Amino acid sequence: MPSSLQRWRLLAPWLAGSLLLLLSGCGFHLKGYAQPSAALNGLYIVAGDQIDTVAGVLQRELLGGGVILSPDRESAKYVFQVLEEKFSSRVLSVDANGKALDNELRLRARVRLTARSGMEPHEEPLELVRQLSFSGSDELGQRNETALMMDDMRRDLAAQIIRRMEAGLR
Protein backbone atom coordinates (compact mmCIF):
# COMPACT_ATOMS: atom_id res chain seq x y z
CA MET A 1 0.00 0.00 0.00
CA PRO A 2 1.51 3.38 -1.01
CA SER A 3 2.39 5.83 1.71
CA SER A 4 0.79 9.27 1.85
CA LEU A 5 3.97 10.86 0.41
CA GLN A 6 3.89 8.53 -2.59
CA ARG A 7 0.19 9.20 -3.05
CA TRP A 8 0.84 12.96 -2.95
CA ARG A 9 3.58 12.64 -5.58
CA LEU A 10 1.16 10.81 -7.85
CA LEU A 11 -1.72 13.23 -7.30
CA ALA A 12 0.22 16.53 -7.39
CA PRO A 13 0.66 16.69 -11.21
CA TRP A 14 -3.00 15.82 -11.73
CA LEU A 15 -4.12 18.48 -9.25
CA ALA A 16 -1.85 21.10 -10.82
CA GLY A 17 -3.13 20.25 -14.30
CA SER A 18 -6.74 20.42 -13.15
CA LEU A 19 -6.14 23.78 -11.49
CA LEU A 20 -4.56 25.17 -14.67
CA LEU A 21 -7.52 24.01 -16.75
CA LEU A 22 -9.98 25.59 -14.32
CA LEU A 23 -8.07 28.89 -14.23
CA SER A 24 -7.73 29.10 -18.00
CA GLY A 25 -11.44 28.38 -18.38
CA CYS A 26 -12.45 31.26 -16.11
CA GLY A 27 -10.47 33.87 -18.07
CA PHE A 28 -7.57 34.23 -15.61
CA HIS A 29 -4.31 35.36 -17.23
CA LEU A 30 -0.95 36.08 -15.70
CA LYS A 31 -0.02 39.73 -15.76
CA GLY A 32 2.19 40.45 -18.71
CA TYR A 33 2.73 42.77 -21.61
CA ALA A 34 -0.59 43.68 -23.20
CA GLN A 35 -0.53 43.80 -26.97
CA PRO A 36 -1.76 47.09 -28.44
CA SER A 37 -4.96 46.81 -30.46
CA ALA A 38 -5.15 46.91 -34.25
CA ALA A 39 -7.04 50.22 -33.94
CA LEU A 40 -3.64 51.90 -33.66
CA ASN A 41 -2.51 50.65 -37.09
CA GLY A 42 -1.88 53.56 -39.46
CA LEU A 43 -0.60 55.87 -36.71
CA TYR A 44 2.24 58.27 -37.49
CA ILE A 45 4.41 59.48 -34.61
CA VAL A 46 6.09 62.84 -35.13
CA ALA A 47 9.78 62.65 -34.08
CA GLY A 48 9.43 58.96 -33.28
CA ASP A 49 13.01 58.40 -34.41
CA GLN A 50 14.41 60.38 -31.45
CA ILE A 51 15.36 57.62 -29.02
CA ASP A 52 15.48 59.48 -25.70
CA THR A 53 12.02 61.03 -25.92
CA VAL A 54 8.51 59.93 -25.06
CA ALA A 55 7.74 59.82 -28.81
CA GLY A 56 10.70 57.50 -29.43
CA VAL A 57 9.77 55.18 -26.57
CA LEU A 58 6.15 55.15 -27.75
CA GLN A 59 7.22 54.20 -31.27
CA ARG A 60 9.41 51.34 -29.97
CA GLU A 61 6.60 50.04 -27.74
CA LEU A 62 4.06 50.09 -30.56
CA LEU A 63 6.39 48.45 -33.07
CA GLY A 64 7.30 45.83 -30.46
CA GLY A 65 3.60 45.14 -29.94
CA GLY A 66 3.01 44.50 -33.63
CA VAL A 67 1.33 47.80 -34.53
CA ILE A 68 1.84 48.82 -38.17
CA LEU A 69 2.88 52.47 -38.11
CA SER A 70 2.46 54.79 -41.07
CA PRO A 71 5.76 55.74 -42.76
CA ASP A 72 4.66 59.33 -43.39
CA ARG A 73 2.22 61.91 -42.15
CA GLU A 74 0.22 62.15 -45.39
CA SER A 75 -0.87 58.49 -45.47
CA ALA A 76 -1.55 58.19 -41.74
CA LYS A 77 -5.00 57.61 -40.24
CA TYR A 78 -3.85 59.37 -37.06
CA VAL A 79 -0.95 61.69 -36.27
CA PHE A 80 0.48 61.68 -32.74
CA GLN A 81 2.73 64.48 -31.57
CA VAL A 82 4.44 65.28 -28.29
CA LEU A 83 4.17 69.07 -28.11
CA GLU A 84 6.13 69.43 -24.88
CA GLU A 85 8.20 67.10 -22.73
CA LYS A 86 9.81 68.47 -19.59
CA PHE A 87 11.51 66.90 -16.59
CA SER A 88 11.84 68.80 -13.34
CA SER A 89 13.04 67.84 -9.90
CA ARG A 90 12.91 69.27 -6.43
CA VAL A 91 14.48 68.33 -3.14
CA LEU A 92 12.04 66.95 -0.60
CA SER A 93 14.39 66.42 2.34
CA VAL A 94 18.02 67.01 3.30
CA ASP A 95 20.36 65.58 5.92
CA ALA A 96 22.18 67.56 8.62
CA ASN A 97 24.93 68.49 6.13
CA GLY A 98 22.52 69.83 3.54
CA LYS A 99 22.80 66.84 1.17
CA ALA A 100 19.60 65.85 -0.60
CA LEU A 101 18.08 62.63 0.73
CA ASP A 102 14.77 62.60 -1.15
CA ASN A 103 14.02 64.10 -4.54
CA GLU A 104 10.81 64.36 -6.47
CA LEU A 105 11.14 63.80 -10.21
CA ARG A 106 8.32 65.09 -12.39
CA LEU A 107 7.67 64.48 -16.10
CA ARG A 108 5.19 66.77 -17.80
CA ALA A 109 4.11 66.27 -21.38
CA ARG A 110 1.52 67.76 -23.67
CA VAL A 111 0.40 65.47 -26.47
CA ARG A 112 -1.89 65.82 -29.47
CA LEU A 113 -3.70 63.21 -31.53
CA THR A 114 -5.10 64.31 -34.88
CA ALA A 115 -7.29 62.15 -37.12
CA ARG A 116 -7.14 62.40 -40.90
CA SER A 117 -10.93 62.10 -40.99
CA GLY A 118 -11.25 65.77 -40.05
CA MET A 119 -12.01 65.15 -36.40
CA GLU A 120 -10.91 67.99 -34.14
CA PRO A 121 -7.40 67.38 -32.70
CA HIS A 122 -7.38 66.05 -29.17
CA GLU A 123 -4.75 67.66 -26.95
CA GLU A 124 -4.05 66.52 -23.43
CA PRO A 125 -1.55 67.33 -20.66
CA LEU A 126 0.01 64.34 -18.89
CA GLU A 127 2.10 64.20 -15.75
CA LEU A 128 4.04 61.57 -13.83
CA VAL A 129 5.65 62.04 -10.42
CA ARG A 130 8.20 59.74 -8.79
CA GLN A 131 10.13 60.00 -5.55
CA LEU A 132 13.80 59.07 -5.33
CA SER A 133 15.50 58.35 -2.02
CA PHE A 134 19.27 58.60 -1.74
CA SER A 135 21.39 57.37 1.12
CA GLY A 136 24.98 58.44 1.12
CA SER A 137 27.22 60.67 -0.90
CA ASP A 138 27.61 58.62 -4.08
CA GLU A 139 27.05 61.38 -6.62
CA LEU A 140 27.61 59.15 -9.65
CA GLY A 141 25.17 56.57 -8.33
CA GLN A 142 22.56 59.26 -7.74
CA ARG A 143 22.95 60.55 -11.31
CA ASN A 144 22.71 57.03 -12.74
CA GLU A 145 19.65 56.25 -10.64
CA THR A 146 18.00 59.49 -11.76
CA ALA A 147 18.72 58.66 -15.42
CA LEU A 148 17.24 55.17 -14.98
CA MET A 149 14.16 56.65 -13.31
CA MET A 150 13.72 59.10 -16.20
CA ASP A 151 13.83 56.23 -18.71
CA ASP A 152 11.33 54.29 -16.62
CA MET A 153 9.02 57.31 -16.46
CA ARG A 154 9.13 57.67 -20.26
CA ARG A 155 8.14 53.99 -20.61
CA ASP A 156 5.31 54.43 -18.09
CA LEU A 157 4.05 57.52 -19.90
CA ALA A 158 4.22 55.73 -23.27
CA ALA A 159 2.17 52.84 -21.83
CA GLN A 160 -0.34 55.34 -20.44
CA ILE A 161 -0.60 57.05 -23.84
CA ILE A 162 -1.20 53.68 -25.56
CA ARG A 163 -4.00 52.84 -23.11
CA ARG A 164 -5.62 56.26 -23.58
CA MET A 165 -5.41 56.10 -27.38
CA GLU A 166 -6.89 52.60 -27.42
CA ALA A 167 -9.76 53.72 -25.19
CA GLY A 168 -10.41 56.81 -27.30
CA LEU A 169 -10.29 54.99 -30.64
CA ARG A 170 -12.79 52.28 -29.68
Domains of the chain and CATH, by start: 39-169 (3.30.160.150)
pLDDT (tens digit, 9 = 90+) per residue, 116-145? Answer: 877 788 899 999 999 988 876 777 778 888
pLDDT (tens digit, 9 = 90+) per residue, 9-32? Answer: 878 888 787 777 776 666 655 555
> Which residue from 154, 152, 113 is spatially nearest to 132, judged by alpha carbons?
152
The SS3 of residue 47 is: coil
Higher pLDDT, 95 or 150: 150
| Cα–Cα distance, 146 to 86 (Å, whole number) | 14
Give the orientation angle of helix 139-169 with respect to helix 54-64, to 10 degrees: 60
pLDDT of residue 86: 96
* Amino acid at the residue 112: R
| 45 touches 59 (CB < 8 A) | yes
What's the chain's average pLDDT? 84
pLDDT of residue 100: 82
